[in-house]
Structure 1
Amino acid sequence: MSPEPSAPAPAGGRQGSFDELGRPLRDVTFVVFDLETTGTGPAESEITEFGAVKVRGGEVVAEFATLVRTSDGVPPLITVLTGITDAMLATAPALAEVLPAFLEFSRDAVLVAHNAPFDLSFLKAACERVGYPVPAWEHLDTARLARRIVTRDESPNNKLSSLAQLFGARTEPCHRALSDARATVDVLHGLFERLGNLGVTTLEDVHEYSARVSPAQRRKRTLADDLPTGPGVYLFRDGSGRVLYVGKSASVRARVRNYFTASETRTRMAEMVAAAERVDAIECAHALEAEVRELRLIAQHKPPYNRRSRFPERVVFLRLTDEPFPRLSQVRAVRDDGGTYLGPFGAAAGAELAADGLLEAVALRRCGGRLSPRRTSPACALAELGKCGAPCDGRQSLEEYAAVVATAREAMAGDPAVVVAAAHARIGRLAAQQRFEEAAVVRDRMASFVRAAARHQRLAVLGAIPELVGAVPTADRGWDLAVVRHGRLAAAATVARGVDPRPWVDAVVATAETVRPGPGPTPAASAAEMERIERWLSTPGARLVQLAGTWAWPAAGAARAASELPERAPAPSAPSGPRTDRRMAHQPGHPRRPS
């Protein structure tokens, strides 16, 4: 099966949002504003005047202007510059009265100012001073835009007075808030006219153009033009077709466009974009399919600019061997050899820590090689320390050692209570002796083993299910659908609101990938893929449509012990109740098989 097929469009289709298409400038409401202040810093200065003009589609909609009473006098230099005097402010409203009115005037609009950081810093300080939450203002800076558009031959500088003269502003700026705001409106429209000639017609385009993006990086933005607007996976390729980077998104086009803007600040990604010559995309039914495809494609291509999930084959398992005197060992794969396995672990260090946790509680032999009950050999120092029963020299019989092995197998595959109890007992003794660092080591070993056992049992349960069909409600009251076989995503689908889902469930099952499981807790997929499926099935409102087999955890399994450990990272939710299934409504969708 090809890993990168072009997937058909999902049933019912997904319409791109306006954000994906961009907001045309003619449809955006702008509030162009200016502030007059008593100084240059908001910490030690106050606002003396607000002036704002609301415009939409090139037309003035409303204006806002008011003086603001200050707690201190206006410095003489500011009076000379603006003409605002203490007498003018004596009867003006206070900031606590003016600010709410301005916030309401500018609500749901994009703020525009000349040297916007200055004015926004005073607005933020004013909100904090009055006790209002600081809004997340979307804004444009006409001075910054002018630096990208206006040449030195046209204007000696980017001051508002110079730009107003260049663009023929109807109002001359004079250091009064409303007059300066009116002049800034004309400058803004002049800049927009020039941007329109460059093909910049949406607010998103303006944000990108005003950012510090190299011309080469901006030119590559066309690589995203034909990409889908729905969920999917994207692959950046160089001139030879080699995959440089694989990513996923709920909106592929919008996400890829971000790589060609200043919003992408990672140096490695800038290097990747510089080397990229094309972007391929695979449409997906929903977010789960996109996540799974991303994992599989990263594992397949091992792109140099992906840091995670490139080598899922480099996992480690602990194996309790199947021989007369079993022992623990680290292996790279699970085989059907009669051994008891624990894992997978992402690295050998994690497996070693978990093994130490088990060996603290269960006296398994730690020597290598096979032992024979008919031939003895000298015991090591661990026997004298009570860490091993010494089956090697005959002190421990085959039957006695078998009881030790049975305890270890139960801790690995069932209830790890023996490991937890032994660790707590030793931690108590060490703490009483104030040997806290050693106690912490014992705690970490125990926690590593318990978490590994809980993860192993959780994955083994999902991996043992021959077939599971799940459905998750979408925002528009449709259904996302997944067919999971032995823990592997075999098909993904979506069904639109109002479509009868029942005819599709048989189709999605019939067209799903045939999965032949192998041994172990991850018989057909990586642990990362299985855990993403678990999280998806734990989404609020999720339903089990069909279930062949049993999805349940043992009541006395490792999950209970893991839940009592201190929080380290969010874990996927479990099936509810001991030894129970989650049976949910039958809600199918449109089939499509993931790679």
Structure 2
Amino acid sequence: MPTEPRVWVGLGNVPGMSPVRRLRPVWADGAVATTGTAVQPGLDEVGTPLADVTFVVVDLETTGSAPAECGITEIGAVKVRGGQVLGEFQTLVDPGGPVPPFIQVLTGITTSMLVGAPVIEDVLPRFLEFSHGAVLVAHNAPFDIGFLRAAAARGGYAWPGNRVLDTVRLARRVVTRDEAPNHKLGTLAALFGASVTPNHRALEDARATVDVLHALLGRLGPLGVTHLEDLDTATDPVPADVRRKRTLADGLPDAPGVYLFRGPDDEVLYVGTSTTSLRKRVRSYFTSAEKRGRILEMVRIAQRVDPVVCATPLEARVRELRLIAEHAPRYNRRSRFPERMPWVRLTSEPYPRLSVVREVRDEDGAAYLGPFSSAAAAQLAVEALHESFPVRQCTRRLPLVAAAGASACVLADMGRCGAPCVGGQDRDTYAEVTARVRRAMLGDPAPVVAAHAERIENLVAQQRYEEAATVRDRLGAFLRGAARAQRVTPLASCAEVVAARRTDDGGWEVVVVRHGRLAATARVDRHTDPRPVIETLRATAEHVPAPVPPSSAAHPEETDLVLDWLERPGVRLVHVDTPWAMPARTALANVDPAAAIAAHAAEVRGLAHPTPVAVEAHDAVTRSAAVREAASREAASRDAAARHTA
């Protein structure tokens, strides 16, 4: 039996098992490894002990304080690990100009001393090699690192991105004002009895900073800062009760997947995802990187973290959505209620009308738009269609023959409805109107864009900017809903799509999608033939019943994730059982209302690069809103001043 799995298979391959146990490694010969065996994590899984970390303590002398205008005159650095000095680096540097007199007095470095010294372009590569892979340490690190980064940029060198540690910030954490009046290097060196006295020469100051660093780390140890990863919180204190919970991340796998924070009574408090490392992502909840108040509250009551290792990053994102929908965790705000996402429906009745509904039904003749993120957005899309077409807006079902004594609404008098309720339109004439509505919903939105572009131009000409902004928002809501429906519908109609994408290590990510739902996924290494894996996936993938069109068989956000993956560069379609295509002219071309209006104006005027009035109107609306907001703040300030004077 091999010592490492060659293929990871996820999702629908182990039916009936809990989400935490549904993923199993599959060996190259087809055997399936067992799961659930308890494994004691090694020390490397909980972080890198500080004794094993290589630090390069650096200090610079410069001709001033601005990296863009001043130069470096001296670099001194000491490499240490585990309290032992591994090497030192020191050199004078020609700054390309004279050293100011006050700098000469401060450092003792004169212009004549730098004659013949190497320039920074020659020194920097040697320093970068000396500090390669180490944590850079400096006293007031933004100053020193800022000069080094600026020099690298001017010389055309890529900055390696070493982790940086500032001893000033560490000192502010553990050295009180009762012990020292300030946190200057000389003050701290005296406090800790450093073996070297700082004297504004780079190497001597770097040696003193080494002693200060070791003293500060010694004080941080009892506070729980014992590993390199803990230094992320050392300069920005984390509440003690939150820091104590960091052991919840111990033993989590270094792989993509989903994690579930569980509280009392096994309640799922929060579901999150990591596309790279579950352990590192969960550890971040116990550091200063996590500043969300409600999440800190969640961490305080969490009792354990359950990992769900996933075969691919796509599976991790999809499984997160499904688990959120299944458990509705109280600390997750996103996608907890997918069934509440509304649609806009053109009904199937003798005289169809537009309505906002919560589900898609199997009705002949009905057309749907969406789903939308909220009922308010769906209502805006309805208003956009009403603005563009004279479709009836009454909500009752109309008979084929108008009832005696029926009366029309005011929309008929305004010319915005043909009044089929009183016999003003017969069924065939009204069907021509609804056919245009259906084409705009399912295909080309140009009539809606044209109606709104003309309306915005007229409103802006009258300086009615608030109404113009409302019209723009209606158009935007319609375009987003139409684009989503037109993008999802072709994939939802495909019973099966199999696709593959090359990974960075030369392997393959393989997905099986059925009716817009991720049915199976696998990761194949570069040494394994992906074709047998693909056939296995197709045979064992989740069975997905066909949904009611145009909805997909998955949460709308899951289908969006799948589409994003399928549309990425380099994805290859392995198998598609039915044609996957969409009309040439759809709302997908211009989802942004300003861009859609500009494209419409270009088509109407026959210009390749127009400056359409509609786009100018859009800008005028935006500017007007900003001016009104500023005027409102100014008026409020004047009122407050008047009340204060009174």
Q: Distance in 1 between matches of 2:169 and 2:267?
A: 38
1:384 alignment counterpart: 413
Q: Distance in 2 between matches of 1:480 and 1:252?
A: 19
Decide whether aligned partners of structure 1 residues 439 and 162 sit closer, same or farther in structure 2, where only a CA change above 3 A counts.
closer
Q: Is the 8 A contact 1:12 1:495 kept in 2?
A: no
- Per-residue deviation at 1:365? 0.8
**What is the 5 A alignment of 1:27-46?**
29-36=54-61
- Per-residue deviation at 1:66? 2.3
2:531 alignment counterpart: 502
Is 415-424 or 432-441 further displaced after alignment? Answer: 432-441
1:371 alignment counterpart: 398
**What is the 5 A alignment of 1:476-495?**
476-495=505-524
Decide whether aligned partners of structure 1 residues 341 and 64 sit closer, same or farther in structure 2, where only a CA change above 3 A counts.
same
- Per-residue deviation at 1:3? 6.0
- Per-residue deviation at 1:157? 8.0
DSSP 3-state at the match of 2:369? strand
Among 8, 23, 32, the alignment partner of 1:8 is: 23
2:321 alignment counterpart: 295
**What is the 5 A alignment of 1:243-258?**
243-250=268-275, 251-258=277-284
2:196 alignment counterpart: 171
Query: Residue type matched to 2:506 in 1?
Result: R
1:84 alignment counterpart: 108
- Per-residue deviation at 1:522? 2.1
1:583 alignment counterpart: none
DSSP 3-state at the match of 1:240? helix
- Per-residue deviation at 1:498? 1.0
DSSP 3-state at the match of 2:265? coil
Query: Residue type matched to 2:108 in 1?
Result: I
- Corresponding position: 1:52 with 2:77: yes
Among 264, 284, 288, the alignment partner of 2:310 is: 284
Deviations, residues 220-243 of structure 1 (Å, cap 9, x unaligned):
111111211111001112222222
Decide whether aligned partners of structure 1 residues 444 and 208 sit closer, same or farther in structure 2, where only a CA change above 3 A counts.
closer
DSSP 3-state at the match of 2:407? coil
DSSP 3-state at the match of 1:453? helix
Deviations, residues 429-449 of structure 1 (Å, cap 9, x unaligned):
555556555444434433432
Decide whether aligned partners of structure 1 residues 465 and 127 sit closer, same or farther in structure 2, where only a CA change above 3 A counts.
closer
Query: Residue type matched to 1:139 in 2?
Result: V
- Per-residue deviation at 1:300? 1.9
Q: Distance in 2 between matches of 1:21 and 1:94?
A: 49
Q: Is the 8 A contact 2:172 2:183 kept in 1?
A: yes
2:563 alignment counterpart: 534
Q: Is the 8 A contact 1:7 1:284 kept in 2?
A: no
Deviations, residues 408-433 of structure 1 (Å, cap 9, x unaligned):
22222233333233334444555555
Q: Distance in 1 between matches of 2:463 and 2:471?
A: 14
DSSP 3-state at the match of 1:244? strand
Is 417-426 or 130-139 further displaced after alignment? Answer: 130-139
Decide whether aligned partners of structure 1 residues 105 and 429 sit closer, same or farther in structure 2, where only a CA change above 3 A counts.
same
Query: Residue type matched to 2:241 in 1?
Result: A
- Corresponding position: 1:184 with 2:209: yes
**What is the 5 A alignment of 1:343-354?**
343-354=370-381
- Corresponding position: 1:462 with 2:491: yes
- Corresponding position: 1:230 with 2:255: yes
DSSP 3-state at the match of 1:221? helix
Decide whether aligned partners of structure 1 residues 508 and 457 sit closer, same or farther in structure 2, where only a CA change above 3 A counts.
same
Q: Distance in 2 between matches of 1:96 and 1:564?
A: 58
Query: Residue type matched to 2:22 in 1?
Result: A
Q: Is the 8 A contact 1:430 1:436 kept in 2?
A: yes
Query: Residue type matched to 1:267 in 2?
Result: G
TM-score, length-scaled by structure 2? 0.76
- Corresponding position: 1:307 with 2:349: no
- Corresponding position: 1:474 with 2:489: no
Among 277, 293, 314, the alignment partner of 1:267 is: 293
Query: Residue type matched to 1:379 in 2?
Result: A
Q: Distance in 2 between matches of 1:138 and 1:103?
A: 18
Query: Residue type matched to 2:375 in 1?
Result: A
DSSP 3-state at the match of 2:101? coil
Among 557, 566, 574, the alignment partner of 2:595 is: 566
Is 132-141 or 151-160 further displaced after alignment? Answer: 151-160
Q: Is the 8 A contact 1:336 1:519 kept in 2?
A: yes
Q: Distance in 1 between matches of 2:128 and 2:336?
A: 48
Deviations, residues 376-429 of structure 1 (Å, cap 9, x unaligned):
410111001000001111121122112222222222223333323333444455
Among 345, 353, 359, the alignment partner of 1:327 is: 353
2:605 alignment counterpart: none
Q: Distance in 1 between matches of 2:526 and 2:451?
A: 55
Query: Residue type matched to 1:450 in 2?
Result: L
- Corresponding position: 1:341 with 2:378: no
Deviations, residues 222-278 of structure 1 (Å, cap 9, x unaligned):
111121111100111222222221111121111111111112222232222122111
2:548 alignment counterpart: 519
- Corresponding position: 1:451 with 2:476: no
Among 83, 87, 91, the alignment partner of 1:65 is: 91
1:75 alignment counterpart: 102
- Per-residue deviation at 1:469? 1.3
DSSP 3-state at the match of 1:489? strand
Superposed CA RMSD: 3.8
Q: Is the 8 A contact 2:495 2:515 kept in 1?
A: yes
- Per-residue deviation at 1:20? 7.7
Query: Residue type matched to 2:576 in 1?
Result: L
Q: Distance in 2 between matches of 1:95 and 1:265?
A: 47
DSSP 3-state at the match of 2:487? helix
1:218 alignment counterpart: 243
Decide whether aligned partners of structure 1 residues 105 and 126 sit closer, same or farther in structure 2, where only a CA change above 3 A counts.
closer
- Per-residue deviation at 1:350? 1.1
- Corresponding position: 1:97 with 2:119: yes
Decide whether aligned partners of structure 1 residues 308 and 8 sit closer, same or farther in structure 2, where only a CA change above 3 A counts.
closer
TM-score, length-scaled by structure 1? 0.82
Decide whether aligned partners of structure 1 residues 456 and 565 sit closer, same or farther in structure 2, where only a CA change above 3 A counts.
farther
- Per-residue deviation at 1:59? 3.3
DSSP 3-state at the match of 2:323? helix
1:578 alignment counterpart: none
Q: Distance in 1 between matches of 2:437 and 2:476?
A: 16
Decide whether aligned partners of structure 1 residues 53 and 4 sit closer, same or farther in structure 2, where only a CA change above 3 A counts.
same
Q: Is the 8 A contact 1:486 1:524 kept in 2?
A: yes
Decide whether aligned partners of structure 1 residues 159 and 341 sit closer, same or farther in structure 2, where only a CA change above 3 A counts.
closer
- Per-residue deviation at 1:487? 0.7
Q: Distance in 1 between matches of 2:226 and 2:115?
A: 40
Query: Residue type matched to 1:97 in 2?
Result: V
Q: Distance in 2 between matches of 1:303 and 1:147?
A: 38
Q: Is the 8 A contact 2:53 2:81 kept in 1?
A: yes
- Per-residue deviation at 1:124? 6.4
Deviations, residues 163-203 of structure 1 (Å, cap 9, x unaligned):
65777754343443321212323444565677789986653
Is 89-98 or 266-275 further displaced after alignment? Answer: 89-98
Q: Is the 8 A contact 1:321 1:329 kept in 2?
A: yes
- Per-residue deviation at 1:546? 1.5
Q: Is the 8 A contact 2:90 2:202 kept in 1?
A: no
Decide whether aligned partners of structure 1 residues 567 and 184 sit closer, same or farther in structure 2, where only a CA change above 3 A counts.
farther
Normalized per residue, the structure richer in helix is 2
Decide whether aligned partners of structure 1 residues 196 and 12 sit closer, same or farther in structure 2, where only a CA change above 3 A counts.
farther
Q: Percent identity?
A: 52
Q: Distance in 2 between matches of 1:413 and 1:345?
A: 15
